[in-house]
Amino acid sequence: MTTLKELAALLNISISTVSKALNDSHEISENTRIRVKELATKLNYKPNRIAQQLKTNTSKTIGVILPTVTNPFFAEVLHGIEMAATNNDYDIIVCLSNETLHKEKRSLDLLSNGSVDGFIMAVARESQVTKQTDHIKDVIESKLPVLMFDRVVDDIECNKVIVDDFQSVYDAVEHLIVNDKRKNILLVSNIEELSVGQLRISGYTKALEDHNLKPNILKLDHAVDVDVEKKIYKYLKANPTIDAILSIDHVTGIVAINMAKKIGREIPKDLSVVGFGYEHTQLLSSPKISIIHQKAHRIGEMSTQLLIDSLKGENHKLQTIVVPSELQLSESSN
Amino acid sequence: MTTLKELAALLNISISTVSKALNDSHEISENTRIRVKELATKLNYKPNRIAQQLKTNTSKTIGVILPTVTNPFFAEVLHGIEMAATNNDYDIIVCLSNETLHKEKRSLDLLSNGSVDGFIMAVARESQVTKQTDHIKDVIESKLPVLMFDRVVDDIECNKVIVDDFQSVYDAVEHLIVNDKRKNILLVSNIEELSVGQLRISGYTKALEDHNLKPNILKLDHAVDVDVEKKIYKYLKANPTIDAILSIDHVTGIVAINMAKKIGREIPKDLSVVGFGYEHTQLLSSPKISIIHQKAHRIGEMSTQLLIDSLKGENHKLQTIVVPSELQLSESSN
DNA sequence: TTGTATGCGTTATCAC
DNA sequence: GTGATAACGCATACAA
């Protein structure tokens, strides 16, 4: 890699002159500036990022800590983060907690040494369930800003970007009741221990209450495996009065459609199915599932922008941004 | 952040003594070493990573450039990369090319300034289609090692980790012919312009040739949208003699199953369906699709290990590793 | 056993 | 308009 020193030596001028010339300092003469720049491009000089970082004590890098990236929600969020970061000339270092406390802790710890200027994270399942979040507080106390999205710790004060989990489910359920005239709505859940799961269940329960209907919840293991099919199949078979299904994750809704068809129930005639979903979710089911589409990409973008703003000191008051979801109904034309 | 200087000042000893003590140098007395370490842990001292990087001229960071991360294949590869990197005490900086040449170029360029010690990448669609790969060659010439996986540029010499695209499809097709007695196998393709797509098509064509059958290819736009359903539906309707479908991506196979059911074809009785797939792919279809399961996670792990080995100078000869896929048949028990 | 000095590549302050 | 010098935080060769 070419350095300032090398350029200076070749041009027989001092390092500082080269530096200034490259940075378009007014002190430098037109002549030398051109000479310097020519040689620089010729030798493909690039300022050493590490040295700049040491000098300025900022890394222009964001640490991104995700529970997993094989879940399409987080993948899409990551996409949004990457775009926004790039647009602001930030890099991202990505760590995956794999839903474990210890990996999350380790990642925060390892990056809290100047590697990053701040963090964007969604809390690992284990941390959230066991309510162990001291490691996150430590980071914040060490003056490294943390932005939490989606899965959020209530008693930690920091910028947050969340989804309207309660409201979006409430609205979807209400739509099932009012528009589709459903009375027996089953909720299928495999994430009831997460903050988002609880919010979604609350939205469901409240909507039913408000319409004097009673809730009906089928809980599944959070490890999504083949058993899911069997359990849903059995349940639907045993409860033929179910006339709508609300899945609060992005896969059991599709499974439910497949199982219902197998039993011979007509969709959407005798059964409405709503799930959470993303880009291609609807393409994978036939008849089409209705989805609560979380704007994952947007969540990533907003999180990044909010963190970077606070990094620039443009935003000192902490805030919580709610990104609304969109209810995408299946087109009955299918 | 605590620094060596601060520790030294508080202990009234020199910086280098502190440094040596923390690094367990034999030169330092038991006594001071303990004193130093105690204070260090008390003040939560962490060596400034940036300074270490500048000093040692290595970043212990790998640049990972992916075409996208919402495709589950790349998401799973990323997971593997992250795990292997973490195990080797490396960080990863992730950039997404969004399948474009210019973003890929930009990412390589921006990180080629000391930010990373090497790259792991899968070539963007645009770069591969237009055969513009000079930017990659430039990086390699600048002595930054590049490892390419999955989508690979033949005339670039570097370490590579690829999938047995040709062979796995060949085997799958042969299985359809020999075991399932299929004679009219349709290939559904939306990635025929990618190297991997071409290899998969070759495997298909060759297998048919070897059994004196004739190929039959349905090409779709690579933008996966609702039209896919209609096209597949129409085709199946118009060609009732089709008795097997091979999808060379991870979504059109499921769509094909749904459309075939709609037409009334029985699976797997009169129609076998094989696609590419990952972790949860099979869960999303009913009856189960058979999948060629690429070991995406393993591809990520091996890529990372190979790159790190070469970084350590343990591996000077370039190699190409082929990671075999696994044909996962649908259990007819469903 | 401890301390001093130097350099990594850059930027910035100050003197010439 | 140019250059010498210091500093960022750390590691290490060398001196004491």
Q: Say yes or no to pLDDT of A130 above 60.
A: yes
In the predicted structure, residue A334 carries a pLDDT above the cut 80:
no
At B334 the pLDDT is: 32
φ, ψ for residue A283, nearest 5 deg: -65, -25
A112 in Cβ contact with A144 (< 8 Å) = yes
Q: Which nucleotides of C are covered by protein (CB under 7 A)?
A: 1-5, 7-13
Q: Which nucleotide's C1' is closest to A54 (Cα)? A: D8
- Chain A residues closer than 8 Å to B94 by CB: 64, 78, 82, 92-94
Mean per-residue pLDDT, A37-54: 96
Note whether A50 contacts B115, CB cutoff 8 Å. yes
State residue A105's pLDDT score. Answer: 97
Chain B residues touching residue A51 (CB < 8 angstroms):
54, 114
Return the residue matching tokens 């199915």. Answer: A273
Whether the CB of B13 is below 8 Å from some CB of chain A: the reply is no
Report the residue from A50, A59, A283 with minimal CB separation from B54.
A50
Give the end-to-end CA distance of chain A in Å, rounded to a whole number: 59
Q: Are strands A272-277 and A290-293 parallel, antiparallel or unpaired?
A: parallel
pLDDT tens per residue, range B171-190: 999 999 999 999 999 999 88
The pLDDT of residue A114 is above 80: yes
Q: How confident is the model at residue A225 (pLDDT cuts 50, 70, 90)?
A: low
B191-222, pLDDT tens digit by residue? 888 889 999 999 999 999 999 999 999 998 76
Whether residue A221 is predicted with pLDDT greater than 90 in this model: the reply is no
Other CB atoms closer than 10 Å to residue B13's CB: what's the count? 16
Please answer whether residues B243 and B212 qualify as being in contact, where contact means their C-beta atoms are separated by less than 8 angstroms: no
> Judged by CB atoms within 8 Å, which residues 151-180 of A form the interface with B?
none
Report d(CA A284, CA A272) in Å as an integer.
16
Place of tokens 């299928």: A188
Amino acid found at A191: I
- Does A86 sit within 8 Å of B75, measured CB to CB? no
Cis upstream peptide for A72 (omega within 30°): no
For residue B310, what pLDDT is reported?
A: 94
Residue A224 confidence class, pLDDT cut points 50, 70, 90: low
- Our CA angle for A21, A25, A29, nearest 5°, is 65
What are the domain boundaries of chain A?
Answer: 4-47, 58-162+296-323, 165-295
The pLDDT, as a whole number, for residue B280 is 79
User: B96 falls in which pLDDT band (50, 70, 90)?
Assistant: very high
**Chain center to CA of B172:** 22
Averaged pLDDT, B4-29:
95
Task: Please tell me if residue B61 touches chain A, with a CB cutoff of 8 Å.
Answer: yes
pLDDT of amino acid B279: 73
Contact A307, A62 (CB under 8 A): yes
What would the mean pLDDT of A113-138 be, rounded to a whole number? 96
**What pTM, to 2 d.p., does this model score?**
0.94
In this predicted model, what pLDDT tens digit does every residue of B120-153 receive, in sequence order? Answer: 999 999 999 999 999 999 999 999 999 999 999 9
Neighbours of B311 (CB within 10 A): 18
Q: What is the pLDDT of residue B307?
A: 97
Return the residue of B nearest to A260 by Cα: B286
- The class level of CATH for A58-162+296-323 reads alpha beta
Per residue in A173-191, pLDDT tens? 999 999 999 999 999 988 8
Q: Mean per-residue pLDDT for A133-140?
A: 97
Name residues 219-258 of chain A within 8 A of B (Cβ). 224-226, 228-229, 251, 254-255, 258
Tokens of A177: 């009741």
Q: How many interface pairs between A and B have CB atoms less than 8 angstroms apart? A: 149
Which CATH code fits A165-295?
Answer: 3.40.50.2300
In angstroms, rounded to a whole number, what is the distance separating the alpha carbons of residues A22 and A33? 7
Q: How confident is the model at residue B333 (pLDDT cuts 50, 70, 90)?
A: very low
* Residue A282 confidence (pLDDT): 86
- Could you tell me if B44 lies within 8 Å of chain A, comparing CB atoms? yes
Establish whether domains B58-162+296-323 and B165-295 are of one fold.
Answer: yes
**Which residues of the protein have their beta carbon within 7 Å of strand D?**
A 12-17, 20, 25-29, 31-32, 51, 54-55, 57; B 1, 3-5, 15-16, 19-20, 22-23, 45-48, 51-52, 54-56
Q: What whole-number percentage of chain B has pLDDT above 70?
A: 97
Question: What value, to the nearest 5°, has the Cα angle with vertex B79 and ends B73 and B81?
Answer: 105
Helix (H), strand (E) at residue A112 = none
Hey, which residues 87-116 in chain B have their CB within 8 Å of chain A?
91-96, 103, 110-115
Q: Is the pLDDT of residue B223 over 70?
A: no
Report residue B320's pLDDT band, with 50, 70 and 90 as the boundaries.
Answer: very high
Residue A116: pLDDT band (50, 70, 90) is very high
Residue of chain B with shortest Cα separation from A104 = B86
Task: Identify whether the C-beta of residue A59 lies closer than 8 Å to the C-beta of residue A279.
Answer: no
